[in-house]
Amino acid sequence: MTAALIGVLGGMGPAATVDLMQKIIQETAAGRDQDHVPVVCWNVPQIPDRQKSLAGEGESPLPAMARGIKALNAAGATHIVIPCNTAHHWFDDLQACSEAPIIHIASASVEMMEAEGNVGIVGILATRGTWQARLYQERLDARGITCITNSDDEMLSLFTPGCYAVKRGRREEGGALLERAGEALLARGATRLILACTEVPVGFDAIQSRLSTISIDSNRALARACVREWQASFGALQR
């Protein structure tokens, strides 16, 4: 068995990719450089917009994402992660062109939520494409967990502009809009939130949102999954 080498298919967007990389470091119990998770990153932002593609307003991002997956395989990645929830709409196609297994961000997030307990009703802060792909609903339904998402009006006035503001580097503006989208879910009965768009934790961090304390950060869940793979493979090599 060889030690894990985590491949990151990034660029969707670049800030969310860097956020994941930072959280992999934060989640690693390391006493020296050599204890950290080996990572190779394909942070190429010139991937067509996932939300626009699913809305029928742009080209498919699949060919560009597949090129990144193949590059990570060629670099020797043993596992691949994608710090973009909407990109997981194409998960099966991407896994089909990858020798290395891809860790699913929704599975990692739901597992992290279950480990923390006290679930209740879960509000999903996600793009329309992520919601329509039922990436989270299927996993939560299987566990008997009720989930809700933003209304069409909230998506148009709060979530989507907030997401794109973060992508433009206007993190405080985006964070404030995304926080309001989360508060709308709490007002309708949600007791926990899943930040099912990797721009959301970037925006929340910029405004130090109080909602972070009741939220499952999908990027942090992915980071923890990466650390587990590394530790498992490293431990196996030591035996």
Smallest Cα–Cα separation from 5: which of 65, 57, 78, 69? 78
Q: Given this model, what pLDDT does residue 237 score?
A: 54
Catalytic residue among 41, 147, 197, 226: 197
CATH architecture of 6-104+220-238: 3-Layer(aba) Sandwich (3.40)
Quick check: helix, strand or coil at residue 56? coil
Q: Given this model, what pLDDT does residue 238 score?
A: 53
Q: Given this model, what pLDDT does residue 233 score?
A: 84
Quick check: helix, strand or coil at residue 2? coil
CB atoms within 10 A of CB 173: 17
Q: Which residues of 198-229 are buried (b: 16+ CB within 10 A; e: fewer)?
A: bbbbbbbebbebebbeebbbbbbbbbbbbbeb
Does residue 210 carry a pLDDT above 60? yes
Question: For domain 106-217, is the CATH number 3.30.465.10?
Answer: no
C-alpha 154/C-alpha 131 separation (Å) is 14
Q: Given this model, what pLDDT does residue 239 score?
A: 45
Q: Is residue 197 annotated as part of the catalytic site, yes or no?
A: yes
pLDDT level of residue 224 (50, 70, 90 thresholds): very high
C-alpha 152/C-alpha 115 separation (Å) is 31
Are the folds of 6-104+220-238 and 106-217 the same? yes
Q: How far is CA 204 from the centre of its chain?
A: 14
pLDDT level of residue 235 (50, 70, 90 thresholds): low
Does residue 121 carry a pLDDT above 70? yes
Q: What is the pLDDT of residues 134-154, one digit of tens each?
A: 999 999 999 999 999 999 999
Smallest Cα–Cα separation from 125: which of 78, 71, 162? 162
Does residue 2 carry a pLDDT above 70? no
Q: Domain boundaries in the chain?
A: 6-104+220-238, 106-217
Q: What is the 3-state secondary structure (H, E, C) of 140-206?
A: HHCCCCCEEECCHHHHHHHHHHHHHHHHCCCHHHHHHHHHHHHHHHHHCCCCEEEECCCHHHHHHHH
Q: How far is CA 93 from CA 63, 69, 200, 219, in A?
A: 10, 11, 26, 22
Q: Given this model, what pLDDT does residue 236 score?
A: 52
Q: Given this model, what pLDDT does residue 119 score?
A: 81
Catalytic residue among 41, 84, 147, 163: 84
Q: Given this model, what pLDDT does residue 118 score?
A: 73
Q: What is the pLDDT of residues 95-107, one digit of tens each?
A: 999 999 999 999 9
Instruction: Provide the percentage of residues in the chain whose pLDDT is more than 90.
Output: 93
Instruction: Provide the percentage of residues in the chain whose pLDDT is more than 70.
Output: 97
Q: Is residue 226 annotated as part of the catalytic site, yes or no?
A: no
Does residue 167 carry a pLDDT above 70? yes
Alpha-carbon torsion, ordered 199, 205, 211, 216, to 10 deg: 60
Does residue 59 carry a pLDDT above 60? yes
Element (H, E) at 24: helix 14-26
